[in-house]
Amino acid sequence: MNLAGASVLVTGANRGIGRALVTRLAAEPARLVLAGMRSVEKFEPVALSPEGAAEVRPVQIDLSSRESVDASCERLGQELERIDVLFNNAGLVTGGLLEEQDMEQVYAMFQVNLVAVAHLTQRVLPGMLARRYGAIVNNASISAYAYFPAASTYAASKAGVVALTEALRRELRGTGVRAMHLVTPGVTTDMLQRTEDIYGRHLDTSGWEQIPPEQWADQAVEAVKAGRRVVNPPGKSRLAMLAARGPAWLLDQTTARVFSRSPRG
């Protein structure tokens, strides 16, 4: 996909992978990069170059509820119809033993990670379909494939993202619009820190791979340009993804070594 003159929206763009995506996209000859964030006053300007994007603009995108997604779309006005590439990146993480998880947080997580992805995509698709040009890029996770204990609700949301994306990809065949997903490994952001905190009570996360957000953002943008279906993780995460496609006992054995129902010492 050629990004020259394109209009791109990234959700969760004030920090982490979203911020890295916006910075990376600014180097592409796009017309406009919309940096979606809950509080636009948090936006830190991105350096522009003559060969890069013409403009990077912060926009308020709040995915907390059906109403807030609709309100965010209304605020975008005519720019909503002009979006060519949508990065559904914003996300929340929940975890721990299921019986101990906070259900308020679980509902909020499913809303942002899965329901809002379907909703925002639905609002953006008509413009792409009319122009027969566009891409939906959904940030999933290694957890969408490798179902680790202590990650039940988060894994379910991300497996849902993969299901949504793959079904949509087939639905869009022949329209000029693509859907793809990112099987994101451990990326050094606030979320990774939080993941270690909430999983760490029961799960040894010390062997998890970590890559910088800039590296992952670069791979994601290159994959969009190449029209790929999926961006796979590197190293051990890739092995975990492959193991998860094999017989269940493979992951059973791996997870038995790193998980304990009683809090780890």
Ligand X SMILES: NC(=O)c1ccc[n+]([C@@H]2O[C@H](COP(=O)([O-])OP(=O)(O)OC[C@H]3O[C@@H](n4cnc5c(N)ncnc54)[C@H](OP(=O)(O)O)[C@@H]3O)[C@@H](O)[C@H]2O)c1
Residue 239 CB, nearest approach to ligand X (Å) = 16
Residue 189 CB, nearest approach to ligand X (Å) = 3
Lookup: tokens for 57: 């603009």
Nearer to ligand X, 141 or 165 (CB): 141
The residues that are catalytic are: 154
| Side chain identity at residue 70, one-letter code | D
Nearer to ligand X, 15 or 31 (CB): 15
Residue 253 CB, nearest approach to ligand X (Å) = 23
Nearer to ligand X, 125 or 211 (CB): 211
Residue 14 CB, nearest approach to ligand X (Å) = 5
* Interacting residues with ligand X (CB under 6 A): 11-12, 14-18, 38, 61-64, 89-92, 112, 139, 141, 184, 186-187, 189-192
Half-sphere exposure in the Cβ direction for 9 (13 Å, CA): 27
Nearer to ligand X, 7 or 157 (CB): 157
| Side chain identity at residue 151, one-letter code | A
- SS3 labels along the chain: CCCCCCEEEECCCCCHHHHHHHHHHCCCCCCEEEEEECCHHHCCCCCCCCCCCCCEEEEECCCCCHHHHHHHHHHHHHHHCCCCEEEECCCCCCCCCHHHCCHHHHHHHHHHHHHHHHHHHHHHHHHHHHHCCEEEEEECCHHHCCCCCCCHHHHHHHHHHHHHHHHHHHHCCCCCEEEEEECCCCECCHHHHHHHHHHCCCECCCCCCCECHHHHHHHHHHHHHHCCCEECCCHHHHHHHHHHCCCHHHHHHHHHHHECCCCCC
Nearer to ligand X, 2 or 210 (CB): 210
Residue 138 CB, nearest approach to ligand X (Å) = 9
